[in-house]
Amino acid sequence: VEPVFPSLIKRYLETPIGSVTVKNVSPRPVENVKVSAFINGYMDFPAEMPVVAQIAAGATATVPLLITFAPSLTEVQEDLPVQVLIEVAGTVSGAVQKISRTVTTTVLRRTALVWDDTRKIAAFITPNDDTVSGFALRAASAAEAGTRQRLSARLLRALRIIDALGVYGIAYVEDPDAPITKVLGSPTAVDTVRFPRTTLANRTGDCDDTTVLLASLLEAAGIRTMVLTTPGHIFLAFDSDGGAENAALLATRDLEIVSAGGTAWIPVETTVLKDGFMAAWKAASSLVRKHRSAGGLGTFAFRDMGTAFPSMPLKPSSITVAE
């Protein structure tokens, strides 16, 4: 049984946590083999796997463990060993036979992430969190306060939010236990990604923390975002409110645009937000320019990622953010 990652649950439906191999050691076939699993405290009812019609004498069958979790799993803040009760039942010559085993696994903290699939980062982007959406909407409202600009309303809104976050102040602090430079792309290393409301409250974070924070703020204000990756690094881009054919109008010698899905996206380096929007755009442009030609630039639109890995449903927060 593999460790369980609360942040990777797809709406709590059929999360694979391993498999059970059943061997028929009797001289007669076993029919209607049913496997169920239950984790006390983190499931409402035992999960029943698809029925195996028959296992011949001496044969084996492997059944995947697909678990439906209760929302309580998302409250785990530290790695926690748990026991999984596995029961197997089958019919032999008309008589029902049952056997059960208990195995131990670990429920990892809700901030745990393995970077084998970059799309998993979408689980930490939470635009509907009250703390996040409140900050974003208050910052964006300044863009509508009597200003007359040649920029589109959506682009101006994005600039206001980014500059407001820079003035608010988020210090860059790399995760000492698992720096992303060493874990991005690793199928085994466990990273920690903090939720946006926590990063807002602490005013510190590494590149993945600040990326999910800015993505959450912009998405809360109706601005589409896209996660960008280069070897050992992650940052963000947002919809410029213009088609890809307009990219040349925004780009300069120092400023790059990422064209994807028919849209011109403005890249932003989230670790230098304190220096303002233009500095963050310029820093991100250097990364785009360096890695795009070498094929090392990854692009992941949030709304595409969210289909596979939806935002984790968090309980309402008591965190107070003082802008």
Phi and psi torsions of 156, nearest 5°:
-65, -40
Q: For residue 191, give every residue at least 6 positions away whose Cβ sits within 8 Å of its Cβ, in sequence order, or none.
A: 112, 113, 114, 115, 175, 178, 180, 183, 208
Pair 310, 280: CB distance under 8 Å: no
The DSSP-derived string for 188-228 is SPEEE---HHHHHHHTEE-HHHHHHHHHHHHHHTT--EEEE
Phi and psi torsions of 234, nearest 5°:
-140, 140
- pLDDT for residue 238: 96
CA dist., res. 283 & res. 120, Å (int): 25
- pLDDT for residue 283: 96
Q: 229: buried, middle or exposed (CB in 10 Å: 19+, 13-18, 0-12)?
A: buried
- pLDDT for residue 11: 40
How is residue 154 written in tokens? 């959506």
pLDDT in tens, the chain (323 residues): 565 555 444 444 456 778 899 999 989 999 999 999 999 988 889 999 999 999 999 999 999 888 888 878 888 889 989 999 999 999 999 999 999 999 988 888 889 888 888 999 999 999 999 999 999 999 988 655 555 556 778 888 999 999 999 999 988 887 766 566 666 666 677 888 999 999 999 999 999 999 999 999 999 999 999 999 999 899 999 998 876 666 666 777 789 999 888 889 999 999 999 999 999 999 999 999 999 888 899 999 999 998 888 888 888 877 777 77
